Structure 1
Amino acid sequence: MIQSGMATFSVQSAETSPEQITTVLGVEPTRVDLMGTKTRSGRVRQVNQWMVHVDELANSAADQTGTGALRQLLVLLRPAAGKVHQLPKDCCARIWWSAYSDSTQGGFVLLADISKAIADLGVDMFATAYLDEGNDTRSEHT
């Protein structure tokens, strides 16, 4: 069963500035990485990256789906619903959701309201479920 997860909404662009993305979506990013800066691996970033990130959240008594971080991300992105398609053509927007399971099968359930919120944004979600062995190093998508 999924025990926790983290979620990121990212927009990558070679021409559109992070400020323009913020204006179109009506949401403030939690992080911006500018084209031309170095990545952690030492490479030079080829695109601007605008992100809203929610750190790892564990299951709660009220929600045992492991989707708490994804749900929180979607709440933060509510003002952007229906606006993603207004981004310039050079922008690529998507949701990244990582979930940590205590089961080798790693299955999960996306409730209908979460699926609807993703559809309302008009973006694809890339999801990965990991077996949480308690000693892994977790990092956000960049």
Structure 2
Amino acid sequence: MSLLPQQLTKLHQLAMQQTPFPPLGQTNPAFPGEKLPLHSSEEAQNLMGQSSGLDASPPASTHELTIPNDLIGCIIGRQGTKINEIRQMSGAQIKIANATEGSSERQITITGTPANISLAQYLINARLTSEVTGMGAL
């Protein structure tokens, strides 16, 4: 089963609250329904301080997780549906290493902003918890 639309909406709102600048055209999570003003790219750069050479977006970083082989399937999902869902919701790049002979674990590398990484970790842990507790509906 996949997440309900209400659950996806809540996760998306949570992720948007973690980012300092929501994407252009999105509503402000603090004031639902209120559209954020659109600015030209030059105005946006000035507002974010990029005209002075500063980068307003948090730097991308990498985090690694190790997952037992017997649980990796619940994270990947049938034909990659679950991992693609996690990638889409979190906005992070997620790579799962191929199984190595003799190892009982798989390496997962998550790359993105700290908020992207945090949300991806949360979603992966939620999948693992639901699998281990027998509530595979997430």
Q: TM-score, normalised by structure 1?
A: 0.30
Higher relative CO (Cα under 8 Å, sequence separation at least 6) belongs to 1
Structure having the larger proportion of residues in strand: 1
Q: TM-score, normalised by structure 2?
A: 0.31
